[in-house]
């Protein structure tokens, strides 16, 4: 298995310092969230900056997944806005352009996937009905899939609690809605904590069920019914069966620690997390970080 750490949990570090830290700790790669502090996707000279990051990743021996969950990269006043479900067609188009740009960045970095999510169903007036929301999502993703096909980089959609696409069942609904493009084009980001939070199956069973579509994995601890990303040992997940299930799938991508609200303690949590993942033990597989 190949472990990584998400830069959205290292936002207090320069990207160069974050990459060196992860390499020194023995991580295999990085989940790189394109954001204003880390390879800003909207700033000038993106291609040149991406090329420098690609060389640095190569020098450090780090693999990479490109993640697109930056909170305010498009709109400084709306978290994750505008989304693929935005009532404004121009807003949806802006998110689509960002994702297409992320695909190109991923191709230039040699990333194994590009992560994205649906966004929440808008609470506009009149309210957006479910059928309209799914149509917006499919229409907004179609150009991204075209770009992904041309670049040879799969899109990995993440079920996110509270979003239109919140569960594994919702992922399969989208897959069928888009005519089943195949897992090498439309794959899945499986967040292990989200499985604990709201899926009916155990996290280990979710891994087994999702195996054919796995293109990216995020991992952290979590409690049932509470969408809060926690350091390992602070939640309820039994990790040894999860890691065994992941290993059994033959999944070759990165399994990335995602602690986006813990950047203040990022370096120490990065150290504690890789130690835990290498040697999970104790009750529920937990050790205190």
pLDDT per residue as tens digits for the range 96-125: 999 999 999 999 999 999 999 999 999 887
Q: Mean pLDDT in the chain?
A: 95
Q: CA 93 to CA 89: how far, in whole Å?
A: 6
- On the question of pLDDT at 289 being above 50, the answer is no
- On the question of pLDDT at 241 being above 80, the answer is yes
Share of the chain above pLDDT 90, in %: 95
Full-model pTM: 0.95
pLDDT at 284: 54
Q: Which of 55, 60, 56, 67 is nearest to 9 (CA)?
A: 67
List, for residues 44-100, the tens digit of each pLDDT value. 999 999 999 999 999 999 999 999 999 999 999 999 999 999 999 999 999 999 999
Q: CA 48 to CA 252: how far, in whole Å?
A: 28
List, for residues 192-227, the tens digit of each pLDDT value. 999 999 999 999 999 999 999 999 999 999 999 999
List, for residues 8-30, the tens digit of each pLDDT value. 999 999 999 999 999 999 999 99
Q: CA 59 to CA 2: how far, in whole Å?
A: 18
Contact 244, 216 (CB under 8 A): no
Q: In the chain, helix, strand, coil percent, each to 5? A: 45, 15, 40
């Amino acid at each position: 298995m190949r472990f990584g750490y998400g830069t959205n949990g290292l936002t207090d570090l320069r990207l160069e310092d974050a990459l060196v830290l992860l390499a020194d700790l023995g991580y295999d790669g990085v989940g790189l969230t394109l954001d204003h502090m880390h390879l800003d996707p909207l700033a000038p000279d993106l291609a040149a900056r991406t090329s420098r990051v690609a060389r640095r990743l190569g020098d450090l021996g780090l693999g990479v997944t490109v993640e697109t969950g930056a909170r305010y990269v498009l709109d400084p006043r709306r978290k994750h806005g505008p989304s693929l479900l935005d009532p404004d067609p121009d807003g949806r188009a802006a998110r689509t352009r960002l994702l297409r740009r992320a695909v190109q960045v991923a191709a230039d970095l040699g990333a194994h996937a590009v992560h994205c999510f649906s966004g929440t169903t808008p609470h506009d007036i009149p309210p957006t009905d479910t059928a309209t929301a799914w149509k917006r999502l499919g229409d907004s993703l179609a150009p991204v899939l075209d770009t992904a096909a041309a670049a040879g980089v799969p899109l990995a959609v993440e079920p996110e609690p509270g979003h239109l696409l919140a569960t594994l069942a919702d992922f399969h609904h989208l897959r069928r809605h888009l005519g089943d493009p195949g897992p090498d084009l439309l794959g899945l980001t499986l967040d292990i904590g989200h499985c604990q939070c709201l899926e009916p199956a155990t996290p280990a069973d979710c891994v087994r069920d999702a195996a054919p579509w796995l293109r990216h994995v995020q991992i952290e601890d979590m409690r049932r019914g509470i969408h809060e990303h926690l350091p390992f040992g602070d939640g309820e997940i039994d990790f040894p069966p999860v890691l065994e299930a992941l290993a059994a799938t033959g999944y070759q991508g990165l399994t990335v620690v995602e602690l986006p609200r813990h950047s203040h303690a990022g370096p120490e949590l990065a150290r504690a997390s890789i130690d835990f993942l290498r040697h999970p033990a104790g009750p529920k597989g937990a050790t205190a970080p």
